[in-house]
């Protein structure tokens, strides 16, 4: 029953989406929708793990919004409307012309179809999403307060260097400069612009979320007056919930949760770019693409909630590490796709591979602790600074 409660909407939307595709476009259309859904899940499973690390810091109300309002933004905003906006900006076409191109997949304007125009916009898309994801990876690796380490011989030196909080930004800009000068070629101008925009978006959304969390500004503070007309006292923007191991996790609400919600949506967009562009190799129909990728996005959100409710990240302590390594690899792959074609199956296997190895290390670590033995340091090291 617990599984059905979390995945119920995903199952229902899958049935409705595939059935409608079959009624409108026949068995081929239904099969394409199912294939695209599987593609999205395989490419974005690491996204679910990262989402869970953020969602578990948010109150139950905001978790529900992530599954309802968030999925509408993910399906219609990121996988239908956003590509149209990107094509309009990069191809210098009016919104009506781009919508006409998108609806009529065989129509040609300025020597290209909608899929062609989206492909031409790929360098900018890859630069924006790549820098955003690369910053997530760098912030994790250089976090000086991160206690649990997976590959200590890599992570401990980086954690110490992370005392200088400007290091991730400097490295991200250096990486953008290298990509722009060595890979982008004639697209270097739009790669630089999109990369800087991606970095600015990350810093703004993440920074505002952390600011409101640290200030303790929550939904309760939005209430101006109580029933007697007196000013309501400001209260903390959080409740607490078990985080595993007896610890209490502070749950953000109000403005802090709102910016975490925005951060999650931009993160989802960064993961979806590659899937949206790659989907045109399977179908030219934007509605079939939106349906298939939308179903996949719904499952990713359900998996995210499942990980949070089951406390999976607390039980399997290195899953978060594996997901961040997968994000770093995806950022590199996005940079490479500016010049070269990288098959989606490689992208998916890289992410699944990192998470699979991290899961195995987590299981060995958990079993060793339960048996009262010391885990093998190279495969499942003890958390740094853990109390005995």
Distance CA 57, CA 314 (A): 13
Q: Tell me the pTM.
A: 0.73
Query: E strands within the chain?
Result: 238-244, 247-252
Backbone region of residue 229 per phi and psi (left: phi > 0; alpha: psi in -120 to 50; beta: other values): left
CA distance 45 to 324: 12
Nearest to 298 by CA among 288, 286, 290: 290
pLDDT, one tens digit for every residue, the chain (388 residues): 467 777 887 888 888 888 888 888 888 888 888 888 887 777 777 778 888 888 887 778 887 787 778 777 777 777 778 777 777 877 777 878 888 887 776 777 777 777 777 788 888 888 888 898 899 899 888 988 888 888 888 888 888 888 888 899 999 999 999 999 898 888 888 899 989 988 998 888 777 767 766 665 444 443 333 334 433 333 334 444 444 444 445 566 677 778 778 878 777 776 776 667 667 667 777 788 888 888 888 888 888 888 888 877 788 888 888 888 988 888 898 889 888 888 777 877 888 888 889 889 988 888 887 776 555 444 444 444 443 3
Domain boundaries, the chain: 2-222+232-370
d(CA 307, CA 322): 15
């Amino acid at each position: 029953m617990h599984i059905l409660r979390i995945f119920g909407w995903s199952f229902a939307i899958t049935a409705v989406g595939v059935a409608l595709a079959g009624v409108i476009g026949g068995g081929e259309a239904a099969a394409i929708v199912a294939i695209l859904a599987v593609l999205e899940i395989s490419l974005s499973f690491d996204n679910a793990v990262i989402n869970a690390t953020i969602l578990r810091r948010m109150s139950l109300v905001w978790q529900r919004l992530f599954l309802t309002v968030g999925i509408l933004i993910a399906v219609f905003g990121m996988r239908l409307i956003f590509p149209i906006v990107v094509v309009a900006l990069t191809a210098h076409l009016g919104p009506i012309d781009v919508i006409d191109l998108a609806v009529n997949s065989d129509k040609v304007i300025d020597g290209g179809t909608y899929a062609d125009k989206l492909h031409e916009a790929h360098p900018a898309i890859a630069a924006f999403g790549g820098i955003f994801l690369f910053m997530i990876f760098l912030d994790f690796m250089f976090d000086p307060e991160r206690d649990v380490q997976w590959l200590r011989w890599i992570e401990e030196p980086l954690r110490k260097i992370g005392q200088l909080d400007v290091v991730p930004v400097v490295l991200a800009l250096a990486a953008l400069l290298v990509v722009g000068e060595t890979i982008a070629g004639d697209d270097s101008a739009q790669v630089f612009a999109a990369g800087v925009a991606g970095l600015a978006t990350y810093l703004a959304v993440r920074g505002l979320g952390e600011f409101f969390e640290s200030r303790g500004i929550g939904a309760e503070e939005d209430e101006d007056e109580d029933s007697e007309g007196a000013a309501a006292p400001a209260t903390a923007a959080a409740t607490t919930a078990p985080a595993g191991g007896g610890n209490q996790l502070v749950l953000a609400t109000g403005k802090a949760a709102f910016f975490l919600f925005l951060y999650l949506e931009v993160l989802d967009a960064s993961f979806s770019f590659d899937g949206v562009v790659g989907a045109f190799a399977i179908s030219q129909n934007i509605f079939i693409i939106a349906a298939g990728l939308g179903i996949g996005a719904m499952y990713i959100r359900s998996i995210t909630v499942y990980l949070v409710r089951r406390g999976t990240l607390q039980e399997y302590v290195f899953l978060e590490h594996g997901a961040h390594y997968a994000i770093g690899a995806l950022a590199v792959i996005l940079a490479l796709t500016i010049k070269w074609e990288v098959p989606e199956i490689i992208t998916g296997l890289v992410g699944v591979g990192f998470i699979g190895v991290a899961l195995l290390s987590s299981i060995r670590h958990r079993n060793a602790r339960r048996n009262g033995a010391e885990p093998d340091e190279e495969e499942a090291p003890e958390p740094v600074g853990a109390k005995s």
